[in-house]
Structure 1
Amino acid sequence: MTTLLWLKAFHVIFMVAWFAGIFYLPRLFVNHAETDNQAVAEHLKGMEKRLLYFVTPFGILTVLLGIALIHFYGMAWFAASHWLHIKVTLVVLLIGYHIYCFKLLKTFAEDKNTRSGRFYRIFNEVPVLILFAIIILVYLKPTFS
Structure 2
Amino acid sequence: MGDIYLWLKAGHVISVIAWMAGIFYLPRLFVYHAEQRASVPQMVPVLEVMERRLLQAIMTPAMIAAWAFGLSIIAVGVIDWGEVWPWVKGAGVIAMTAFHLWCARERRRLADGTATASGRRYRMMNEVPTVLMIVIVVSVLVRPF
TM-score tier, shorter chain, comes to over 0.9
Distance in 2, matches of 1:78 and 1:46, equals 43
Distance in 2, matches of 1:81 and 1:69, equals 16
Aligned to 1:24: 25
Other structure's SS at 1:43 match: helix
Count of aligned residue pairs for this structure pair: 141
Q: What aligned pairs does 1:29-40 form with structure 2 within 5 A after superposition?
A: 29-35=30-36, 36=38, 37-40=40-43
When normalised by structure 1's length, the TM-score is: 0.93
Aligned to 1:71: 75
Distance in 2, matches of 1:106 and 1:30, equals 15
Aligned to 1:60: 64
When structure 1 is superposed on structure 2, of 65-74 and 85-94 the one drifting more is 65-74
Gaps (5+ residues) in structure 1?
none
When normalised by structure 2's length, the TM-score is: 0.93
Please list every run of at least 4 consecutive aligned residues from structure 1 whose deviation after the TM superposition is greater than 2 angstroms: none
Is 1:41 paired with 2:44? Answer: yes
Name the amino acid aligned to 2:23: I
- After TM superposition, give the deviation of residue 142 of structure 1 in Å: 2.5
Distance in 1, matches of 2:23 and 2:107, equals 12
Percent sequence identity is: 38
When structure 1 is superposed on structure 2, of 57-66 and 78-87 the one drifting more is 78-87
Name the amino acid aligned to 2:122: Y
Gaps (5+ residues) in structure 2?
none
Task: Tell me which of 92, 96, 110 is aligned to 1:90.
Answer: 92
Name the amino acid aligned to 1:44: L
Distance in 2, matches of 1:18 and 1:78, equals 25
Name the amino acid aligned to 2:144: P
- After TM superposition, give the deviation of residue 78 of structure 1 in Å: 4.0
Aligned to 1:8: 9
Distance in 2, matches of 1:134 and 1:90, equals 6
Q: Could you tell me whether the CA contact under 8 Å between 1:7 and 1:69 is conserved in 2?
A: yes
